[in-house]
Amino acid sequence: MSTPFAEAAHEAARNEAARTRACGTAAHASASPAALDAAVSALAQLVRPSATVFYWIGADQEPSGFELYGMAETMHRTYLQRYCRLDPLHPSRFAAQRGSVLTLDSELPATVRDGSIYWQRFLNAYQVVDVMEVLLRDGERPAAAFSLLRMAPAEPFTADDLARARAVQPLLETALTPALRDERPLRAAADGARLTHREQQIARLVRDGLSNKEIARALDLSQPTVKTHLLRIFRKLGVSSRTELIGALFL
């Protein structure tokens, strides 16, 4: 039986194949967004969240590489700065979970929310009424996830919503995990500074041997903008050449 995600994924694959034939290595930078957008669209149709956040889960069980869909930057910044470690659905708690679709109610039942700082000061403050986490595993290890939020006046997720998320999860995992394996967030610099999503895209194209002009064409940027991003990457990593950049991030 065809599903919205399967149809979107097949269309994304056809488009990506066409780009690969036409543009060679330049298509590398745009493959993941196409697949990711198809997955977000499928979840929007099937589960109807008010906002969606995609993120990677590192070997240290920390989330990174966030992509926001419908969530305000200020809300996300507040989460990262104050409440990430208090999140009952934080990836560090996934190791003990066997399922791939987790709910807020299973980790923070309504009966104990009055005593939860995370609920009172973050979720409730932003009118979040429910959260569902859809995990993508690479083997046994959670490698990425979608965080689906329902905000007032919407109602909490229903049993049918949960069933639809569980039904589509294997399709998301099959389509996204292999396609995005090479796009995981790059490791942080020695001082903890992280590369932005754009900086990671540019770093990977440098690794692939593209010149500044070719990177600018691949990402639809000006050459001065590419140079500015490269200088920022150099500063964050404490390197002074493209060769040292590749050694710091990929070797």
Q: Distance (Å, rounded) from C-alpha 92 to C-alpha 108?
A: 15
Per-residue confidence (pLDDT) for residue 32, from 0 to 100: 59
The percent of the chain in helix, strand and coil, each rounded to the nearest 5, is 60, 15, 25
Per-residue confidence (pLDDT) for residue 195, from 0 to 100: 81
Per-residue confidence (pLDDT) for residue 4, from 0 to 100: 47
Q: Distance (Å, rounded) from C-alpha 37 to C-alpha 75?
A: 21
Per-residue confidence (pLDDT) for residue 29, from 0 to 100: 34
Burial of 135 (0-12, 13-18, 19+ CB in 10 A): buried
CA angle at 221 for the pair 77 and 9, rounded to the nearest 5°? 70
Burial of 118 (0-12, 13-18, 19+ CB in 10 A): buried
Spans of the chain below 70 pLDDT: 1-33, 95-96, 179-193
Kindly report the pTM of this predicted structure: 0.66
The sheet carrying 63-69 orders its strands as 63-69, 51-57, 141-151, 128-138, 101-103
Per-residue confidence (pLDDT) for residue 220, from 0 to 100: 84
70: left (phi over 0), alpha (psi -120 to 50) or beta: left
Q: Where are the beta strands (DSSP E) in 92-248?
A: 101-103, 128-138, 141-151
Which residue do the tokens 């200088």 mark? 231
Q: List pLDDT tens digits, range 116-147.
A: 999 999 999 999 999 999 999 888 888 899 99
DSSP 111-150: GGGGG-HIIIIIITTTTEEEEEEEEEEETTEEEEEEEEEE
Tell me if 203 sits within 8 A of 186, measured CB to CB.
yes
Q: Distance (Å, rounded) from C-alpha 135 to C-alpha 168?
A: 11
